[in-house]
Amino acid sequence: MASSSAAESSSRLSDRARRSALGLRFMVLLMHVLFVGAVFILDPTLDWRIHGEPWYIGLYGVLVLLTLVQYFYTAGSCPGYVIDVMRAGSMMHATFVNTAALSKQSNSRNGNINSPTSRAQLQKLSTMTPTSSWAQMVMDLYPPGSSSRDWTCTYCRIVQPPRTRHCHDCDKCVLQFDHHCIWLGTCIGKRNHCRFLWYIFEETILCIWTAALCIESLCLDVDKAWWKDFVGVILLAALILILIFLLLLWLFHSYIALTNQTTYEIARRKRIFYLRGVPERVLPFSKGICRNLYDFCCSSQKGYILEAVPPSEELEARAARYTCRDVICCRCC
C-alpha cells in the first residue's frame, strides 16, 4: 500500500512538472512573438525594408527561427541521468546496495542514513547485488576513506559518481549537475550543457539585433503616433535588461566551460565533501582550456565518461604558482 501510494504521488508530481514545463515553453514562445512582432509593428518603414532589404529581414527571421529551434532542442534534451548511464552499461535500473541492510540504518522520517557504512562494508554488500560492478566502479572514483553516506543518494538510493546531484524537480540524479533551468523545464547537466550555452549565445545575438531595430525605429524622423514611441521606449528598456542578464549568463557559463566547473560546485563548494579540502584557487577537474573545451563541446561519449576526484598529491601540485616554463609548455591550456 505504501509503495503504491508513493508511486501515485510521484506520478502526480511528474504530471504537474510536465504541465508546468509546457506552460513555461509556451510563455517563452509567446514572448518571442510579442517582442519581434512589436518591433516590426512599430517600424513605419516595414514595407520598404521587406522590398528594399529582403536579405536583412530574411537573416533576422532565420536567427529567430534558429533560436526557437535551439530552445526546444535544449528543453527536450537529456541532461545525463545516472540511471541512463547504468542502463547503457547493461546494469539494473537502480543501485540499491542491499536495501534491506540500509533500511535498518535509515530514518523512516527523512530517509537519511544515520550511520555511515565503511568502504569495505559497502564493497562486501555490493558483491551480493547484480550491480556490484557499478558500485565498485563508483567507489574507485572517490578518494580512499570516503564514507558511503556522502555518495549514496538518500532519495533514490543510487550510488552517485562524483559531480552528481539529485534534482528534486526532475526527481532523478543528474551527472555533472549545473542547475535546474525553470525556463527550459529541465536540468542542465553533462549532456546538454553545451546546447544550453549555444542557446544563450543565440538568444543574446537575437536580443542585440532586436534592440538595434528598436533603436533604429525610434530614431526615424517620420510622423507617427505618440503611443508608438512610448511603447518603443518601454520595449527597448526591457530588451536592455534582458540583454544584460543574457550577456552576464553567457560570460559566466563560458568561464565554467573553460575551467570545467559547474554552477552548483561554485555555489556549494564548501558543502561538497570532496571539495572541502581543495584550495580555493585550485580547479580540481580542469584538464586545461583546450581539453576542457573539447570535452564540453566535441566529446562523442559525453555523458558516459565518469570523472574521478584527483588525488591529494595532484591537487597540491596544482596549487603551486605557474612558472615561465609552465606557460611555455602550455600548462594552463
pLDDT digits (tens, 9 = 90+) for 180-214: 998 898 999 999 999 999 999 999 999 999 999 88
Q: Is pLDDT larger for residue 7 or for residue 67?
A: 67
pLDDT for residue 60? 92
pLDDT for residue 119? 45
277: left (phi over 0), alpha (psi -120 to 50) or beta: alpha
Cα–Cα distance list, 276 to 9, 269, 270 (Å): 36, 7, 5
Exposure string of 265-298, with b = 16+ CB inside 10 Å and e = fewer, is: beeeeeebebbeebeeebbbbbeeeeebbebbee
pLDDT for residue 252? 97
Q: Is 181 annotated as catalytic?
A: yes
DSSP label of 174: E
Q: At what angle do helices 132-139 and 119-126 cross, to 10 degrees?
A: 160
Lowest-pLDDT range, 4-18, 134-148, 247-261, 262-276?
4-18
∠ CA 94-99-105, nearest 5°, is 135
Nearest to 176 by CA among 193, 163, 191, 194: 163
pLDDT for residue 57? 84
**Could you read off the pLDDT of 86-144 as tens digits, one per residue?**
877 644 333 333 333 333 333 333 334 333 434 444 444 344 344 567 778 888 888 87
pLDDT for residue 330? 60
Residue 28 has pLDDT above 70, yes or no: yes
pLDDT for residue 44? 74
Residues 6+ positions from 6 with CB-CB distance below 8 Å: none
The separation between the first and the last C-alpha atoms of the chain, rounded to the nearest angstrom, is 57
∠ CA 29-180-172, nearest 5°, is 120
Mean pLDDT on 213-219: 84
pLDDT for residue 25? 86
Choosing from 153, 181, 194, 207, the catalytic residue is: 181
pLDDT for residue 113? 36
